[in-house]
């Protein structure tokens, strides 16, 4: 008989955060947003040497994971780090890394 593996909610959430953080562009965006209140998508595309559509995909991944949040201020989108989920991610990774 095969043993069923059950993952905890913390493991599932930590994996989702880790997946979203699994690209250097996304880490750069998180570091930038963690240092300042917010940033407009246009400002990010000015400093990152990637296509706007590629940047948009990276921002979507971070947003879907709950690590950032976006607010439309036509014609721009203002992105901020989601402080609650950022703290949760830090806590989950700290627990995991310290075993």
User: What's 23's domain CATH number?
Assistant: 1.10.10.10
pLDDT for res 19:
97
Decide if 42 is inside a domain. Answer: yes
To the question of pTM greater than 0.85 for the whole model, the response is yes
Smallest CA-to-CA distance from 55 within 37, 68, 14, 35 is with 68
What sign has the CA pseudo-torsion 62, 27, 44, 86?
positive
Question: What is the span of the domain harbouring residue 73?
Answer: 9-92
Decide if 26 is inside a domain. Answer: yes
- Give burial (CB, 10 Å; 0-12/13-18/19+) of 68: buried
In 3-state terms, what secondary structure has residue 81? Answer: strand
Decide if 98 is inside a domain. Answer: no
pLDDT for res 13:
96
Q: How many domains does the chain have?
A: 1
pLDDT for res 95:
93
Decide if 97 is inside a domain. Answer: no
Decide if 84 is inside a domain. Answer: yes
**Residues with pLDDT less than 70, the chain:** 1
pLDDT for res 18:
97
Decide if 99 is inside a domain. Answer: no
């Amino acid at each position: 008989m095969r043993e069923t593996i059950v993952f905890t909610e913390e493991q599932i959430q930590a994996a989702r955060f880790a997946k979203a953080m699994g690209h250097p562009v996304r880490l750069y965006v998180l570091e930038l947003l963690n240092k300042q209140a917010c940033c407009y998508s246009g400002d990010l595309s000015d400093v990152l040497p990637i296509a706007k559509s590629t940047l948009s995909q990276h921002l979507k991944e971070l947003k879907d994971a709950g690590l950032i949040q976006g607010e439309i201020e036509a014609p721009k989108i203002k992105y901020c780090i989601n402080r609650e989920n950022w703290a949760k991610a830090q806590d989950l990774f700290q627990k995991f890394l310290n075993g």
